[in-house]
Amino acid sequence: MRRKERRNDARHPVGWLAEYSAEGIAGTWSRCEVIDISEAGAGLILEGPPVETDTRLTLELAADHSRLEGTVRHVTMSPDGTMHIGVEFSPDSVALVVLKITNELATILTAV
């Protein structure tokens, strides 16, 4: 049975490289990939330590070192052992996310 879709905002596939630091894993930054993003949150594939639902997470984007704060809302393990998570951004991060999505789309649209 599929989980009910709770997202209200359109997701945009991105493939951004980033690092994350999770609450409770002090001093550790690990690599991840942002696979999709919306105004409210993002889907990530983690390469480092696992996280649990409701964990606070800081995401630092490799391209410009900007930081986004959020909370892990779901965790899924793939058969190959890859951890996929969904992060809901804190209200302070939403404006930055909108700017990044707008800039990314503008770059794509002007290249056509």
CA distance 26 to 44: 20
Residue 1 in any domain: the answer is no
CA distance 57 to 87: 8
Say if residue 58's pLDDT is above 80: yes
pLDDT cut 70: percent of the chain above it: 81
* Phi/psi at 94 (5° precision): -60, -45
Say if residue 54's pLDDT is above 90: yes
Residue 5 in any domain: the answer is no
Mean pLDDT of all residues in the chain?
Answer: 84
87 is in which domain, residue-wise?
A: 12-111
- Residue 88 sits in a domain whose CATH number is 2.40.10.220
In this prediction, residue 86 has a pLDDT band, given cuts at 50, 70 and 90, of very high
